[in-house]
Structure 1
């Protein structure tokens, strides 16, 4: 499970961008949203809903393309930027509730989490050891805990290397553009993965 979480993906890239742009607290608020999204997918998979979504090809593809669109919207917001903070001050992050919601939506629009739970969890359950549903819930909870650990580590590392605290005139604009470019790259990567799977 740790290897799955350590594999680069949209969540990892987005969390790195948020934490490096606005700091650790903003990153941790986003981690909370991402975690809720993972939990929703895990519970849906255990209930059998994830398998249904995977069988409906157009719905699965729609979710993936919606994820690409959402990332591009976030890139547009970053590119547009806002008023520059006073010299030597870190840029004011969005409200934590907004960051939480963005993390949740970004994860829900990345249905590969559902694929993970639907495809891999059953292979780790054994009816001879008890209720498969209970086993799937325990394994899913372990995966969510591992994801929290990995995502938090990413946020703490990216937040400690944040360049935002050393802003100079014009640097804020370049940083906004870099964030937007990073989000576009993540969106293109997700679009390529979606195109390959259709």
Structure 2
């Protein structure tokens, strides 16, 4: 069940930078090491609803209902565009500033969780990723999927945390240059907007 092939596949998926990694990096650069831990935790927690949907077959309902899929999709698009705005807005929650200290951990965690919760493709991803690694015993399928999902979540947290801690190490150097800060804020905003555009093209 938990084979080297599964671990390698999950590791590659987690390492590839996506929206969660982008958010964790922005938080780490803007608010430091402690904030990056909350961001990594939130991104991991946001996986739970999609994992449960895959385990209990709810993912199929989401992707067979165009209305439900589009509601979640457009909520996700709006949220990504809001994050893009917050990256360039003066005093925005994602803007990197020299005078900024870490914000509320729970707020950082909640915003991170919403990134994954509002991604309608994530439940289908788990529905495609996990079954090939099951033993084939129908009686233990639910437990096996939950176990594989738990391992995937643990890898997600560790890898995202590594991204965040690495970015936090570079924070002092980043904060010493107004030009670099402005460039990073605009870059994060552009990337969030690009991810919103990509999500807009997704179909159920």
TM norm structure 1: 0.83
> Once structures 1 and 2 are overlaid, which stretch shifts more, 176-185 or 96-105?
176-185
* Structure 2: stretches of 5+ with no match in the other structure: 1-9
Tell me what 2:130 maps to.
Answer: 121
1:110-138 per-residue CA deviation (whole Å, 9 max, x = no partner) reads: 23321221122122212338511111111
1:47 aligns with 2:56: yes
C-alpha separation in 2, matches of 1:8 and 1:165: 20
The root-mean-square deviation of aligned C-alpha atoms, in Å, is 2.6
Name 1:185's counterpart in structure 2.
191
Counterpart among 42, 65, 76 of residue 56 in structure 1: 65
Distance 2:64 2:165 in 1: 38
- More divergent stretch after superposition (62-71 vs 157-166): 157-166
Q: Deviations over 1:120-162 (max 9, x none)?
A: 2122212338511111111111111111111111111111111
Q: Which residue of 1 aligns with 2:90?
A: 81
Aligned length: 191
Greater Cα shift, 74-83 or 94-103: 74-83
How many angstroms apart in 2 are the aligned matches of 1:165 and 1:189? 24
Which residues of structure 1 form unaligned runs of 5+? none
Regions of 4+ moved over 4 Å: none
Q: Distance in 2 between matches of 1:67 and 1:102?
A: 12
